[in-house]
Amino acid sequence: MDKVRIEELNVYGQVCPSTLLLALREVNRLQDELHRGEVQLDIRTDNRYATATIPNAVRNMGFDAKVRKEEAGYLIQVCAARS
Amino acid sequence: MATGQGKKSAAGVGLRAEIERLRAENDALRQHDSELVHYLRGKIDQLLGVVGTLPLRADELDDDGLIAFDPIGIISDSFVQVLHTLQETNDRLRAARDEIAAIYNAVGAGIVVLDREQRILSYNQRLKEIFFPHNKSIVGHTCVSLMCRDKSPAPGCVFAKVMASGQRAVTQEWAFNQHYFDVVGMPVKDRQGKVQQVVIVYHEVTERKEGEEELCRALNQAVEAQQNIAAIVSSVCEGLLVVDPSGTLLLANPAARGMLSLPAEEVVGQTLQQLFLDSELPGRWLRAVQQNNAGEPFDDHLGGTEGGKSRCYQVRMALLHAADGTVRGGVLTLREVTVERELEKMKSDFVSTAAHELRTPLTSILGFAELLQDSENFSLQERAEFAALIHDRAEKLSELIDELLDISRIEAGQVISLARQAIPLAPLVETSLKFFRHSSPRHQFKLLLSTAPLIVYADPRRISQVLDNLLSNAVKYSPEGGSITVQLDCTTEHCTVSISDEGIGMSSEQIERIFDKFYRVDASTTAVQGVGLGMTIVRDLIKSHGSEITVKSAPGQGTTISFTLPLSPEEHF
């Protein structure tokens, strides 16, 4: 299996809806590579509200999203949906 | 100048007017921009609401930033992807629906979908074939009205179970029109987890159930047959051994284990060669397997000795065959024939002995009869002696024949008839002793009498027969001579007669068998005559008098035989 490239988006300090809009803009930019499984987008945020809105939105767009608690905030990993 | 000033003034007015117009236009444009941005913010908030987040605050992004950031562009791009995903999802759902529809109608089980009120929403073709082949449509009917004809849910109703538990439920072997079904119910829930529909699947198991019942019956029959066979095998008094072709023991019934004096766990798994070291059986079995022929029953000595005496068994072999005709094992039947064979031998000995015993007096009778025919050569006194000898030998023959007739009656289970009367015992004994004193001069005969007169209640002829037999044995088994004592003792109830000799005596085994028919203590010696019936007849005669006979003896220490006789009622103290 080819190695997946990690793209990072840091939206610390941002609150919704900016956090969501920034995340969506990045997902839109990377959509083809994300769908092909070549890229994984790691979004770091300290906005707890975003841990619900971002995964919900990207799942509706056909991607998988996982949320992990990190020391200073949250890591939301967006990748291609499993068929 | 004025004209020049006038021209300047007019130009200034025009300029101001233009500035005013431009200002007004600028204000209008500003107003328009403001309304446009306001409109955009409204639409952006509307879109943000759709994606489930908060409205965009003006202080978070100013108007210029809003235009540059282009949230509508971002959200619309995202919506394109959402729509694309929905389209793909719809395609997959459509394919899945078609797949489910194909399965729904192709599956061998009947499937029905019910709503919360048990109304039929849909069903597959198989369900209709099974339950309602003649109904045009059953959609909208309740399953209770169609399937539970008593209009109330049957016990084990799967729908009720699913609605109660919210989980998958199963009812096995539900009966409908003499058919049986395993029924599985699955809930279909809404987003709140409430059961909205129930899918019920009917798997017909009639054949399986009938098969299981048939199998159960067959198993029961097999178990009963096995129990019967086990009971038969355990209860038969003959020993049964089941072996494989190599002679390894697979089963031994209790009788066989008893014969071999071994517990079951030690016997099973051993070979015939291990169990019967010095017998013909192992070799015979291997030959039978090789030749595929069980052969005839044969006698063999198995299982060691009992009291130093070998036990003889009649062995019968039966072969068990596989479907291809090869020997897969066998059943060996062991029947103990030790006593039977001894009896046969004794009978054979009896025939020769009886023939000898009959021939001896008969030879004398014939010889003296021939001499009497030639009467001219003999004196009257000699002829009288010959006649007396013929009479004596004829009496011997008669006694022998009487014995044979007695034993025949005993054998037939007939009671020997007695002519009982009150008789003085001492004279009866004296009469018998008188004969033996005369015929056996080498022995000393003593009679020890009680002082009281002994009147017994007995058949005098039969008691004489008993006394003669016992005295005759005392003489025969005291070949070196010696003392023979007859003692008469009396109690309040009966009189005891004891006859003791100082002869060869008997072992305990010989004592045990002394009353057996045809048994002779020392059959090897020709010096002791007799057919081996005397003691059997004696015991029976004493028993006929309601009395008992006992034997005390030891090898080389003589023998004492005692019997009792009831006293005559007048003699009771």
Q: Do A24 and B77 touch (CB under 8 A)?
A: yes
The confidence band for A35, taking pLDDT boundaries of 50, 70 and 90, is: very high
How far apart are the CA of B96 and the nearest CA of chain A, in angstroms? 14
Per-residue pLDDT of chain B (573 residues; tens, 9 = 90+): 556 677 778 888 888 999 999 999 999 998 998 898 888 889 888 988 888 888 888 888 888 888 888 889 999 999 999 999 999 999 999 999 999 888 888 888 999 999 999 999 999 888 888 888 887 788 888 888 877 765 566 777 899 999 999 999 999 888 888 889 999 999 999 999 999 999 999 999 999 889 988 999 999 999 999 888 888 888 888 888 899 999 999 888 888 888 777 776 777 888 988 888 888 899 999 999 999 998 899 998 876 555 556 788 899 999 999 988 889 999 999 988 888 888 787 777 777 777 777 777 788 888 888 888 877 888 888 888 888 888 888 887 887 787 777 777 777 777 778 889 999 999 989 988 888 888 788 899 999 987 777 889 999 988 988 998 899 889 988 877 889 999 998 888 889 999 999 999 999 888 888 888 767 666 555 455 666 778 888 998 898 888 899 999 999 899 999 999 998 876 544
The span from the CA of B288 to the CA of B564, in Å, is 58
Distance CA B303, CA B142 (A): 79
Report B:88-117 residues touching A (Cβ under 8 A): 88
Contact state of A21 with B54 under an 8 Å Cβ cutoff: no
B229-245 burial by CB neighbour count: b if 16+ within 10 A, else e?
A: eeeebeeeeebbbbbeb
The predicted pLDDT at position B569 comes to: 76
Contact B78 A20 (CB under 8 A): no
The candidate with the shortest Cα–Cα distance to B110, out of B167, B163, B177, B164, is: B177
Q: Is B393 left (phi over 0), alpha (psi -120 to 50) or beta?
A: alpha
Judged by CB atoms closer than 8 Å, whether chains meet at A61 and B78 is answered as yes
Torsion B562-B567-B572-B573 (CA) sign: negative
pLDDT at B292: 92
The whole-number pLDDT of residue A11 equals: 93
Task: Inspect the interface and report whether the beta carbons of A27 and B78 lie closer than 8 Å.
Answer: yes
Q: What's the maximum distance between 2 C-alpha atoms anywhere in chain B?
A: 236
If you search the block for the tokens 């005692």, which residue do you land on? B562
Long-range contacts of B364-371 (CB under 8 A, 24+ apart): B364/B389, B364/B390, B364/B393, B365/B390, B365/B393, B365/B394, B365/B397, B368/B393
**Helices B425-439 and B460-476: crossing angle, nearest 10°?**
40
Q: What is the ipTM of this complex?
A: 0.92
Contact residues for B372 (Cβ-Cβ < 8 A; gap 6+): B378, B383, B386, B387, B390
Q: Give the pTM.
A: 0.43
In this prediction, residue B544 carries a pLDDT of 87
Bridge partners of B240? B333
Residue B524, pLDDT score = 56
Which residues of chain B neighbour A28 with C-beta distances below 8 Å? 74, 77-78, 81
Chain A residue numbers touching B54 (CB-CB < 8 A):
16-17, 49
Question: Residue B482 region, left (φ>0) first, then alpha (ψ -120 to 50), else beta?
Answer: left
Determine contact: A21 vs chain B, CB below 8 A: yes
Q: Which of B570, B325, B334 is nearest to B453 (CA)?
A: B570
User: Scanning every residue of chain A, which has its alpha carbon at the shortest distance from the alpha carbon of B71?
Assistant: A21
Residues of chain A in contact with residue B88, where contact means CB-CB under 8 angstroms, are 62
The Cα B165–Cα B184 span in angstroms is: 14
Record: contact A57-B85, CB cut-off 8 A = no
- Does residue B77 sit at the A interface (CB-CB below 8 Å)? yes
- Determine the pLDDT at residue B8: 78
Two tokens, residue B412: 């037939």
Taking only residues 48 to 77 of chain A, the set having a beta carbon closer than 8 angstroms to any beta carbon of chain B reads 49, 52-53, 56-57, 60-62
Tally the C-alpha atoms within 13 A of residue B416's C-alpha that lie toward its C-beta. Answer: 27
**B51 vs A contacts (CB less than 8 Å):** 20, 24, 53, 57
How much is the pLDDT for B151?
58
Residue B113's pLDDT is what?
93
